[in-house]
């Protein structure tokens, strides 16, 4: 067994959890509360969790068929067509990792500004990207150890916030209403919110990008995706209950307008429950959550570009060397993330990135049906549970994307054109 294979099940679960828990869960509910009540918000998060688990189950089946690094690039190339894999690889570079790193960096900068108003969110985020680039380009052991440490810190802090909110906050069903409520069920707002939630849940497939660095990829990659996704789904539902149960009309001026450069939803809730000091502490802790998510994506994403380089789709320099991180790929992703930090709006990026990640994940899940009916026994027959999960995820993604292109087709086409 190669000594360079340093990831086990625990590291895989940590990689998935760290990729998933980031800006999305801490920002999305503030946007959703502008047009959705507490019941619709919690229902949307429940639907998002169900779809993410279906996606993780489908990917677990795909990982058994194609136990190699590269994620959607590798899966679509093998299951459907190399050109789709090539497009998915570029999507991973542009919107799968670079854009989420930029979003988390901008969000960390916004939280830092609540601690010190003189800080510029963009430059703060850029500094974090540069620091993590240095960590993950330096060496594989330092990269894995640093990532595992950040994962442990993240889970402790996130769980601590949930426990604090559950014990110190309200346990009653919230009675607030959004400032612009819809007549009846807010279907349009609900479908639009699923893109925010898709972004928040993105990362459940993170273990697939580094499959060849697992000691037992066929066993541990599927388990890491399923266990990690289930763990994060439970945490997400709990933290969103804390948010909606403790939001009051007095918070509306900050939260409904979502002035993220001066206040954030977690800051508002913590400050109301335990005073100004708790609000500042919350901002400091959340910055660490974002740093962990950025670190996980800076670890996982470059493995996709390294796989593309090994196959000849990118210059060989991006492939890296055996036993070393793909440093050139790390630098490439971070350079694109820095570009997005200085050129894009946070809320627009959240929605559009979520839509495009959903598109390529749905194509990958649908690839299981091609494997099921492939001629010549090229692939083992996928399990029925995997096919069912793939069908549910793909059909739901088509419905979501229909609403997305109907309501904001021009911006989605712009991002898709970039890919």
Q: In angstroms, what is the C-alpha Rg of the chain?
A: 20
The structure tokens 């009540």 sit at 37
Closest among 273, 237, 267, 245 to 255, alpha carbons compared: 267
* Token pair recorded at residue 279: 């609000």
Helices 187-201 & 384-418, crossing angle to 10 degrees?
100
Q: What is the DSSP string of 338-383?
A: HHHHTT--HHHHHHHHHHHHHHHHHHHHHHHHHHHT-GGG-SPPPP
Closest among 138, 14, 95 to 333, alpha carbons compared: 95
Closest among 161, 24, 91, 107 to 344, alpha carbons compared: 107
d(CA 224, CA 217): 10
In a structure prediction context, what are the per-residue pLDDT tens digits for the chain, which is 419 residues long? 344 566 888 888 988 887 788 767 877 887 788 788 889 999 999 999 999 999 999 998 988 888 887 778 888 888 888 888 888 878 777 777 888 898 889 888 877 887 888 888 889 999 999 999 988 887 666 666 776 777 777 778 778 888 888 888 777 888 777 776 777 788 888 888 887 888 888 888 888 877 888 888 888 888 999 999 999 999 999 989 988 888 765 564 454 444 444 456 677 777 777 777 777 787 787 788 788 888 888 888 888 888 888 888 888 889 877 767 788 999 999 999 999 888 876 666 665 666 777 888 888 999 899 888 875 667 788 889 999 999 999 999 888 877 766 665 545 444 444 44
Closest among 247, 282, 330 to 30, alpha carbons compared: 247
Residue 204 and residue 229 in contact, taking contact as beta carbons nearer than 8 Å: yes
Torsions phi, psi for 183 (to 5 deg) = -80, 120
- Around Cβ 177, how many Cβ atoms within 10 Å? 13
Contacts of 50 (CB under 8 A, 6+ apart): none
Distance of CA 171 to the CA centre of its chain: 29
Is the Cα torsion angle 370, 54, 306, 6 positive or negative in sign?
Answer: negative
Residue 270 and residue 281 in contact, taking contact as beta carbons nearer than 8 Å: yes
Write the CA distances from 18 to 161, 213, 399, integer angstroms: 16, 17, 28
The structure tokens 């996928």 sit at 382
Tell me the whole-structure pTM to 2 decimals: 0.76
| List of domains in the chain | 41-418 (1.20.1740.10)
């Amino acid at each position: 067994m190669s000594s360079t294979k340093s990831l086990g099940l625990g590291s895989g679960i940590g990689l998935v959890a760290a990729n998933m828990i980031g800006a999305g869960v801490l920002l999305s509910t503030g946007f959703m509360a502008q047009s959705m009540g507490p019941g619709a918000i919690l229902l949307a998060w429940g639907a998002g969790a169900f779809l993410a688990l279906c996606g993780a189950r489908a990917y677990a089946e795909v990982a058994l068929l194609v136990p190699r690094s590269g994620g959607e690039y590798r899966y679509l190339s093998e299951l459907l067509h190399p050109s789709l894999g090539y497009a998915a690889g570029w999507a991973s570079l542009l919107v799968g990792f670079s854009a989420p790193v930029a979003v988390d960096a901008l969000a960390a900068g916004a939280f830092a500004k609540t601690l010190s108003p003189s800080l510029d969110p963009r430059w703060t985020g850029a500094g974090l990207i540069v620091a993590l680039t240095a960590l993950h380009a330096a060496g594989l052991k330092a990269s894995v150890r640093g990532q595992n440490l950040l994962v442990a810190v993240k889970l402790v802090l996130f769980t601590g916030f949930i426990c604090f909110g559950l014990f110190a906050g309200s346990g009653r069903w919230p009675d607030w209403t959004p400032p612009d409520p819809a007549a009846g069920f807010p279907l349009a707002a609900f479908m639009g919110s699923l893109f925010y939630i898709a972004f928040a849940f993105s990362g459940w497939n993170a273990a697939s990008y580094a499959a060849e660095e697992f000691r037992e990829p066929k066993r541990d990659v599927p388990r890491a995706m399923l266990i990690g996704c289930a763990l994060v789904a439970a945490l997400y539902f709990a933290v969103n209950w804390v948010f909606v149960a403790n939001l009051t009309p007095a918070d509306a001026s900050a939260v409904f307008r979502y002035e993220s450069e001066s206040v954030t939803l977690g800051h508002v809730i913590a400050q109301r429950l335990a005073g100004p000091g708790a609000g500042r502490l919350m901002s400091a802790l959340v910055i660490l959550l974002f740093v962990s998510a950025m670190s996980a994506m800076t670890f996982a994403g470059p493995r996709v570009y390294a796989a593309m380089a090994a196959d000849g789709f990118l210059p060989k320099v991006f492939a890296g060397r055996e036993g070393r991180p793909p440093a050139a790929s790390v630098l490439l992703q971070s350079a694109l993330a820095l570009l997005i930090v200085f050129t894009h709006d946070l809320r627009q990026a959240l929605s559009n990135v979520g839509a495009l990640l959903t598109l390529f994940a749905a194509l990958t899940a649908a690839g299981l049906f091609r494997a099921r009916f492939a001629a010549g026994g090229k692939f083992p027959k996928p399990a029925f549970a995997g096919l069912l999960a793939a069908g549910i995820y793909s059909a739901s993604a088509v419905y979501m994307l229909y609403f997305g292109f109907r309501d904001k087709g021009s911006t989605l086409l712009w991002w898709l054109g970039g890919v």
